[in-house]
Amino acid sequence: MPTARYKFVRDNSMKGFLSGNRPSTDALGALSIWTSGAPGRSHAVQIDEDDNLVVDLTWGEIDHSAGADLEDSCRRFGVDRSHVQQ
């Protein structure tokens, strides 16, 4: 199963601007939706700070929609993600 580390922060969208939550809280919301979207998806929090969240994401080898689903979840919650080298 592939695993990658990502950092989540607030994006510059109207959704992000209007959110009353911390960026890390919204990132956890996005990840909750993402992990429930297909079997084999999981996340392990590495750093949880007010303005960012760093997690290790795991998904199945045949989960071809993992990236698109993560992008949709992030957009829905007003957060952006970037890959972090381990």
Percent of the chain residues past pLDDT 70, beyond the cut:
100
Q: What is the pTM of this model?
A: 0.92
- Adjacent-strand bridge partners of 43: 57
65-72: long-range contacts (C-beta < 8 A, 24 or more apart)? 65/37, 65/38, 66/34, 66/38, 66/41, 69/34, 69/37, 69/38, 70/30, 70/34
Q: What is the pLDDT of residues 11-46, one digit of tens each?
A: 998 888 888 899 999 999 999 999 999 999 999 999
Q: Which domains does the chain have, with CATH numbers?
A: 3-57+65-84 (3.30.70.250)
